[in-house]
Amino acid sequence: MKKDINFILNGEELTATVDIRSSLLELLRDDFALIGTKEGCSVGECGACTVIIDGKLVDTCIYLAVWADGKDITTIEGLLNEDGSLTDVQENYVEVGAVQCGFCTPGLVMASTQLLKDNPNPSKAEIRRGLSGNMCRCTGYKKIIDAVEKTAKERNTK
């Protein structure tokens, strides 16, 4: 069975006809070619598929596409600055070496972005908690936390 849904995706008002059993992850990757959102575990554990919906982090592998009706969705592709440059969070991930294989990175960047929006001056413990839904097999997390701390510090000294 199919259903029409209307939503905002990376600032653009869109309509899609979706299978009621499809996940939002399938809609983003297969119908809109937004392949920055990754599929890792497929069961809501790893955070590779994280996007921001109405200011909240969502694991799109366990979120039905029909639930996106009326929602405002931001994926990693929608994060760039207006001039197309990387955001400060993204820049700092690169700068401190928080990216290795990169598979977890889009999800972690989404989580870091929302974390800093909700809490502009997080402690290390708050950063760990804020990113606890996102797994990384490569970096050992230290540099990821460094990237978030660096971003917060830079923003707070502007």
Binding site for ligand FES (CB under 6 A): 39-42, 44-49, 59, 61, 99-104, 136-139
> Is the CB of residue 59 less than 8 Å from the CB of residue 47?
yes
Quick one: tokens of 139?
């970096």
Q: Which is nearer to ligand FES, 2 or 137 (CB)?
A: 137
Q: Which is nearer to ligand FES, 110 or 152 (CB)?
A: 110
Cβ of residue 114: shortest distance to ligand FES, in angstroms?
A: 15
12 contact partners, CB below 8 Å, separation of at least 6: none
Q: Which is nearer to ligand FES, 102 or 120 (CB)?
A: 102
Cβ of residue 156: shortest distance to ligand FES, in angstroms?
A: 27
Cβ of residue 95: shortest distance to ligand FES, in angstroms?
A: 15
Contacts within 8 Å (CB) and 24+ apart, 134-137: 134/46, 134/47, 134/48, 134/50, 134/104, 134/107, 134/108, 135/40, 135/45, 135/46, 135/47, 135/48, 135/104, 136/104, 136/108, 137/101, 137/103, 137/104
Cβ of residue 37: shortest distance to ligand FES, in angstroms?
A: 9
Q: Which is nearer to ligand FES, 7 or 103 (CB)?
A: 103
Q: Which is nearer to ligand FES, 27 or 156 (CB)?
A: 27
Cβ of residue 86: shortest distance to ligand FES, in angstroms?
A: 17
Quick one: tokens of 102?
């990169």
